[in-house]
Amino acid sequence: MNIALWIVQGLLALGVLYSGWMKAIQYEKGAAAWGWVKGMPKSLVVSIGVLELLGALGLLLPEGTGIAPALTPIAAIALAAVVLSGALFHIFRKEYREIGINVVFLALAVFVAVGRL
C-alpha cells in the first residue's frame, strides 16, 4: 500500500506542480492555455498557483523526510479542497470539459489523504 501511495503522491504532485507553475510563475502561458484565466483577476490565479505549489511540496516533503509526516494528509485534504473548488467553479461557468482533470486530481488527493491518515 505504501508503494501505491507514493506513486499516487508523485503523480498528483507532478500534475499540481505543472498547474501551479503555469498559474503562479508563467501566468501569460496559463492565460493562453486556459480560457477561464482571462476572466479572473491575476492575483487570484497567481494565489491559487502558489497554493498548488505549496500543496505539491506538502505531499512529498513531510512524508519523504520523516519530518512531521502528519502534514502529508493535511496537504492532500487542502489540495482536494482547492480542486473541488475548481470543479465547482467550472460547473458554475458551464465549462464541463475542464472538469475531468479536477475529478482525477480530486480522486488522487482523497486516496492520499485516506491512505496517509
What's the pLDDT tens digit per position in 3-57? 999 999 999 999 999 999 999 999 999 888 888 888 899 999 999 999 999 999 9
Q: What are phi and psi of 29, to 5 degrees?
A: -65, -40
pLDDT band at 91 (very low <50, low <70, confident <90, very high): very high
pLDDT band at 98 (very low <50, low <70, confident <90, very high): confident
pLDDT at 5: 96
Average pLDDT of the chain?
94
Burial 50-77 (b: 16+ CB within 10 A, else e): ebbbbbbbbbbbbbeeeeeeebbbbbbb
Q: Amino acid letter at 9?
A: Q
The angle formed by the CA atoms of residues 107, 5 and 63, to the nearest 5 degrees, is 115
Residues in the chain: 117
How many angstroms separate the CA atoms of 59 and 41, rounded?
27
Task: Inform me whether the pLDDT recorded for 108 exceeds 90.
Answer: yes
Instruction: Say if CB 87 and CB 106 are below 8 A apart.
Output: yes
pTM: 0.91
Greater pLDDT, 66 or 30: 66
Residue with cell 483577476: 41
Task: Inform me whether the pLDDT recorded for 72 exceeds 90.
Answer: yes
